[in-house]
Structure 1
């Protein structure tokens, strides 16, 4: 049995993909494909495995050992039942949004987090799926969620720190490669693939066949708009931060300046160029025929707008 770890990332269409997997669970099962959803994982299956590095105590280590044993038994049971492929989808395997924003680093402890999954999955894991996104849109979406949760709006220095932070998608990919050296790392861009969860599922499972999957409709975990952010700040401990939202009256918030966005887009373009250059036999890049970083939001048009509303 092959295990595919879909590790996210956050704000790259993960919820849309997960909803598609959930909605088509029985259809996938008919093709001997099983799916472990975040709800199942967070209900106790991964107890002790998904923790920040500074929260790993002896108790957490014991929980992780028990979880790895429990997962190994479940994998054996699925294998014995004839399951050919298991998709495990949980974006918190890489880390959390608050940790990335607070430390001003992209998933700072991703390697250590993913390494805790190795005892359970190393034998079966043949593929790891990772969606990536342009840094200006990624950090804006992440910050929006932390503002909604805490009511605190980052200041100019914090925003500049996120622009200058050194970790790139390439670092995450290399770390995944080190932890699971026998697994293929499949990477796809949010910008080109958010509207194609069926294609992503087919490629992740290694089957370019027309699975009879039904589409899912509606908005899936969109970033809060400016009205929701204002309400969160007003109700929180830092009402004075409202001034940092003053110039925005409607729509989606964009905290970064145009020069900052240009820099972040250039960083992302370098990642895409690296992926296109065939960086290794175990790293594959699934690219949409659409241009990834060239068009502006206005040029992408309605389809891109719809994708932005389904970013979870």
Structure 2
């Protein structure tokens, strides 16, 4: 049985992909594909495994050992039941939104977090999936969620720190390669693939699906709009700083200036150029739905229904 780890990232259509898996569970099951989503991984299955490095205590280590054994038992049971592919979709494998915003680093301890999953999945992990997004939009969405939760608005220095933070998507991809050197890594851009989660699932499985998966009809887990952010700030410790939320467009807050956004988009363009060139062995960049059909006979059978492609 092959295991596919869909590690996220946050704010890149991950919830939509998970909802598509859930909506099509029976159809996937009929094709010998099973999935674990956060409802499963966060209900005790991953206890001790998706912890920040500075929170790993002897108790957490003991939890991780028990989790590894439970996962092994579950994998064996699925294999005996005839399952050929398991998709594990859990964005917290890379880290958390608050940790990234607070440290002003893109998933600062991703390599240590992912390494903690290696004992459970290394022998079976055939593929890792990662969606990426332009830094200006990614950080805006991440900050919006932290503001809504805490009521704290980043100051100008914190915003500048996010613009200049040194970690790039290619650093995260290289760390995934270190943690799982034998797995193929599939990377796709949020901007070009958010409306095709069902096609991404087909590509991740590497298997032909007889019929297209049904799309989900609702945009899930959108970033909070400016009104929700203002309400959160009014109730929080930064109530006197509502002017920081003054810059918004069509109900969405944009904390970065245009020069800052230009710099962040240029950084993202460098990542895309790297992915388009020669990022290394077994790293596959999927730029658009037309790139989803791979070179093998099995993958050539994946059907694409243009009428099904809509935002999920």
Task: Tell whether the structures are fold-level matches, with TM greater than 0.5.
Answer: yes
- Is residue 247–residue 253 contact of structure 2 (8 Å, CA) maintained in 1? no
The answer on 1:218 being equivalent to 2:225 is no
Q: Distance in 1 between matches of 2:277 and 2:248?
A: 40
Aligned pairs for 1:1-312 within 5 A = 1-248=1-248, 251-288=251-288
1:248 Cα shift?
3.8
| Partner SS state of residue 105, structure 1 | coil
TM-score w.r.t. the length of structure 2 is: 0.91
Residues 244-298 of structure 1 show CA distances to partners (whole Å, capped at 9, x for unaligned) of 11344851100000000000000000000000003122100111179xxxxxxxx
Q: Distance in 2 between matches of 1:10 and 1:73?
A: 29
Q: Distance in 1 between matches of 2:258 and 2:36?
A: 40
Off by >3 Å, runs of 4+ in structure 1: 208-212, 247-250
- Is residue 31–residue 209 contact of structure 2 (8 Å, CA) maintained in 1? no
TM-score w.r.t. the length of structure 1 is: 0.91
Q: Distance in 1 between matches of 2:250 and 2:169?
A: 31
The runs of 5 or more residues in structure 1 that have no matched partner are 291-305
Residues 173-205 of structure 1 show CA distances to partners (whole Å, capped at 9, x for unaligned) of 000000000000000000000000111001000
Cα RMSD for the two superposed structures: 1.4
| Partner SS state of residue 43, structure 1 | helix
The runs of 5 or more residues in structure 2 that have no matched partner are 291-309
1:240 Cα shift?
1.3
1:218 Cα shift?
1.2
- Is residue 198–residue 212 contact of structure 2 (8 Å, CA) maintained in 1? no
Q: Distance in 1 between matches of 2:60 and 2:236?
A: 32
Corresponding pairs, count = 293
Residues 219-244 of structure 1 show CA distances to partners (whole Å, capped at 9, x for unaligned) of 20000000000000001122012121
Q: Distance in 2 between matches of 1:168 and 1:28?
A: 34
